[in-house]
Structure 1
Amino acid sequence: MANSKFEYVKHFEQPDTLLPNTWIVVRIDGRGFTKFANKYSFAKPNDRRALDVMNAAAKAVVTELPDITIAYGVSDEYSFVFHKSSTLFERRASKLVSTIVSTFTAYYIYSWPTYFPDSPLAPPLPSFDGRAVCYPSLQNLRDYMSWRQVDCHINNLYNTTFWALIQLGGMDGKEAEKELAGTFAADKNEILFKRFNINYNNEPEIYKKGSVIFRDYELVEPDSHHVAEDVEDLAQPAQQSKTQMENDKKKRAKARITVEHLDIIKDDFWNRRPWLLSGKPGKIPKLP
């Protein structure tokens, strides 16, 4: 490469390498999505079409980047988890985040007409920002995922009750806020059931639990392995040969990528899907 007197500017580039042997979570959020939702008249408290667009974009990201082991989304945010052994982009934060954000945004705009055929996008177009965080232990990662799902439940219960008071109870926003100030989950459930005959337990799972995306292999018996312990005991990720890496890549490519609405807080979800923690592809289910 030719040298020039202008090359000195390269010295301003600072290293942004993420910590090795850690779980990386890239979390993206919609920019100015309150205004965006109002512009396109999203249904309150939940618009299934809007969630489906998010899920379609996230599924495309997981498909294109096989290093992603699991993704979790709610509202206008999504978290993408990279296994601790991942060497994608040499664990550079800026490149990893920009790749996730740009790919997600492109597929969000591409998928929009499928779910909003009568509402073509117009500037300002939807956009997202993101950040990368390293979690040193499996427990940290599990706690992060649990935190996001608990937030999903808390926010959805509040929003469901808030909008019921407005849409069915005739209140305005300030009156509904005052009514819910200081209330607990039991109080909100009681308001929904006694005043509006709404059983919150019967609400769609996607609203209560959010969306989980992962490569789907054959489920295993919970007590047949000890993946979590094995992963935590590794000082460094096990090195694979090129042949092993190619075989794993082929298995990931064959796996069905699924969007589910499940409880990811309890151990059962992880115990029956050991590939999420091991980084190793599971067994491809046999076709019926």
Structure 2
Amino acid sequence: MNEAARAVMQELPEIVFAFGVSDEYSFVLRRNTDLFDRRESKIVTLITSLFTAYYIHLWPAHFQGERFILSPPLPSFDGRAVIYPTTRNLRDYISWRQVDAHINNLYNTTFWALIQRGGMTAVEAEKELVETLSKDKHEILFSRFGINYNNEPEIFKKGSVLFRDYAETAIPPPPETQPGEQISKTQLEKRKKAQRKAKITLSFCDVIKDAFWEQRPWILGGTGTKE
């Protein structure tokens, strides 16, 4: 999933950020992108088809052996486009996705521990977890199975974060234009060149707090945490 998403970002420099969890990936375009003249159907179909193609193409590099050979029905993904009116709205969405990643992973970690280590059936494990809070699941994992959830891999607790990291290159991030502002072909080519050269970094970090965005203001068009 992560490598497929990285490949999509390499193909489409207008994507500045991506967040993945489970079988879903969210891609964020520049606020003032002119990709396909901002036509929703073109953007959605291209990103979805690119992601699917790279997912299948890269599969053999990560899953080898006869038991992992893909056969019909092959993997497929759907997609949709959402326009958020402010940077704050966009950040709220990304924060919700990361919180959701934690909630689901904590539940699944506890659920499967009850089955695989506790000898419960799926029905029994589900019943055991009904109406439990996060602290209850932490207690079940630690007291019954010696599992400290805080030590679980960050990728599962926080999801995957991909972004163009200009701090890791010798080139500055391309400047954002204001709505309606014209940009010359030379400026456009310089921007695309900078976007393509920027390192695409994979991280499993906290994107809820301000620090991530304040350290990389170019991701949200130079606005940081402001609308």
Q: With structure 2 as the length reference, what TM-score do the two structures score?
A: 0.90
Amino acid in structure 2 at the alignment position of 1:135 = Y
Q: 1:158 pairs with 75, 83, 107, which one?
A: 107
Which residue matches 2:173?
Answer: none
Q: Distance in 2 between matches of 1:261 and 1:74?
A: 11
C-alpha distance in structure 2 between counterparts of 1:279 and 1:77, whole Å:
27
CA distance in 2, matches of 1:241, 1:185: 53
Q: Percent identity?
A: 64
- List 4+ stretches of structure 1 deviating above 4 A: none
* Residues 69, 81 of structure 1: 8 Å contact kept: yes
Displacement after TM superposition at 1:237 (Å): 5.9
Corresponding residue for residue 63 of structure 1: 10
1:198 aligns with 2:147: yes
Asked whether 1:257 is paired with 2:204, we answer no
Q: What does residue 96 of structure 2 align with?
A: 147
Equivalent position SS for 2:207: coil
Unaligned runs of 5+ in 1: 1-53, 220-230, 281-288
Structure-2 separation of matches of 1:241 and 1:126: 41
Report the more deviating stretch, 251-260 or 176-185.
Answer: 251-260
CA distance in 2, matches of 1:238, 1:256: 27
Match of 1:96 among 39, 43, 65: 43
Write out per-residue CA displacement over residues 215-236 of structure 1, whole angstroms, 9 at most, x where no aligned residue: 11218xxxxxxxxxxx9xx972
- The answer on whether the counterparts of 2:32 and 2:178 sit within 8 Å (CA) in structure 1 is no
| 1:1-288 → structure 2 map (5 Å cutoff) | 54-118=1-65, 119-218=68-167, 236=179, 238-278=181-221
- Cα distance in 1 between the residues matched to 2:75 and 2:222: 33
Q: Which moved more, 1:248-257 or 1:195-204?
A: 248-257
Matched letter for residue 56 of structure 2: I
Give the 3 Å change call, closer, same or farther, for CA 84–237 of structure 1 in structure 2.
farther
- Matching residue's letter, 2:191: D
Measure, in 2, the Cα distance between the counterparts of 1:123 and 1:164.
32
- Structure 2 segments unaligned to the other structure (5+ residues): 169-175
CA distance in 1, matches of 2:201, 2:133: 34
* Corresponding letter in the other structure for 1:75: S
Distance 2:20 2:89 in 1: 18
Distance in 2 separating the partners of 1:148 and 1:273: 20
Letter in 2 for 1:116: F
Displacement of 1:241: 2.3
Query: Number of aligned pairs?
Result: 214
